[in-house]
Amino acid sequence: MPSVLLVPDLPLERWAAMDKYAHRLHDWLESSDFGLQVRLAAHIGALTRDSVGRRSATGEQRSSGRRKAFVRWWTQPVDPSRLILPGPFHGPQQWAARYYFYPWRVKREAKRSDLVHVLDHSYAHMIETAGRRPVVVTVHDLMPVVVLRSPTGGGGWREGVRNRFLRQALKALRQADAYIVGTEWLKQELATWLGNDKNISVVPFGVDRAFYGESTVARERGRREWRIPEDAFVVLHVGSTVDRKNVPLVIQTLVRLRQQTDAYLLQVGGRFTAEQEQLIDRLGLRSAVRSVASADETALRRAYRAADVLLFPFFIRGLRLPRARGLCIRLARRDIWCGWSKGGGRRRGGGGGRARSGRLRACVGTAR
């Protein structure tokens, strides 16, 4: 039976979007009748699994009325790929695992596989460890290319080390046998960088079936959990808070909205940078900002349903997964999001219908 080796991001990266992709692809391949043996090169982070057995705000068990048996951690087998060291040890562990131990493990596992699929282009250095096995790489964006073309020069030796590994990954990326991207736009960008598009396939973003379902209490439960008034206008931002996500625009939009209504910002999946925290304090928005750095699938769906608008300004064009999920959930008010920005220009995103309320129109006008 042909064997496929999936190479996911390591759990210590804490990249929920990459973990979600790995989970769903692995589950789909295993549950489908393709006649393939599917193997994983590493454990996948558990954040994007639905939580089981957690207590709700009322203290009731979500899964059943029975308590789960207490599991003694010291009796469980140790999986090094799951181990995440705390504090100052995390950075060195991340580099050592990603560029030394993990490639060694993939090299060993690839010998027993017929195909290797690297699920994140930032792990393209794994291609060199696959030997003569054909390699497929999923390319999510071309940020490594952008970073190397626009060096800041202020990062010192850390920036130098990072750029060295980025160049290594990009050099290896050109050696892949096939590429998977999520949009036609990204296919064109990747083809321009590679010099041709003959081995690039577009597989549009997919959304879990669970995101299509409606819950009659999810909105109220989410707002109660995050201490947001029921009649408040909630702006949702999903994902990391790195520079290209244009978070300051989201914060400035909240300022404009609060001049007209009781508006709140709910940020899920990232941690505000020191500069963003200072901006929030300087504008007096601390009481109107809610941050959820880590959210499992249940909390993520609840966040979408608790919100009135998904605001997603981005410095690189292309449909992104948060917007696709927003389309399926349709948010609480059903209608609007804001799209990409490039070179400082901003424009409204497509899809989802019209803004029916004045507060939605105000949000769109503020972000344009």
Judge whether 24 and 206 are in contact, CB under 8 Å.
Answer: yes
**CATH 3.40.50.2000 intervals, the chain:** 212-367
Angle between helices 321-329 and 297-306 (to 10 degrees): 70
Which among 296, 183, 181, 304 has a CA at the least distance from the CA of 238? 304
For residue 344, what is the enclosing H or E element?
none
For the residues of 303-335, what is the DSSP string, one character each? HHHH-SEEE---SS-S--HHHHHHHHH-TTT--
Predicted pLDDT at 103 = 92
Predicted pLDDT at 60 = 41
The tokens for 170 are 């990009």
CA distances from 257 to 222, 235, 241, 249, 261 (A): 21, 10, 21, 12, 6
Predicted pLDDT at 92 = 81
The conformation of residue 58, written as its DSSP 8-state character, comes to T
Predicted pLDDT at 173 = 96
* CA torsion, ordered 140, 142, 144, 145, to nearest 10 deg: 170
Predicted pLDDT at 145 = 87
Span 3-52+78-202: which CATH code? 3.40.50
Instruction: Divide the 368 residues of the chain into consecutive groups of 10 and give the mean pLDDT of each group.
Output: 92 79 88 89 69 43 43 47 66 83 92 95 94 94 84 72 89 96 90 94 80 76 93 91 86 93 93 94 96 83 88 63 51 43 36 43 53
Judge whether 122 and 94 are in contact, CB under 8 Å.
Answer: no
The tokens for 323 are 């917007």
Distance CA 327, CA 132 (A): 42
**What is the third-level CATH fold of 212-367?**
Rossmann fold (3.40.50)
Predicted pLDDT at 338 = 45
Q: In what order do the strands lie in the sheet with 233-238?
A: 289-292, 263-268, 233-238, 309-311, 337-342, 345-348
Helix (H, G, I), strand (E, B) or coil at 196: coil
Judge whether 82 and 102 are in contact, CB under 8 Å.
Answer: no
Predicted pLDDT at 300 = 84
Distance CA 214, CA 155 (A): 46
Judge whether 38 and 6 are in contact, CB under 8 Å.
Answer: yes
Predicted pLDDT at 52 = 46
The tokens for 129 are 């460890």
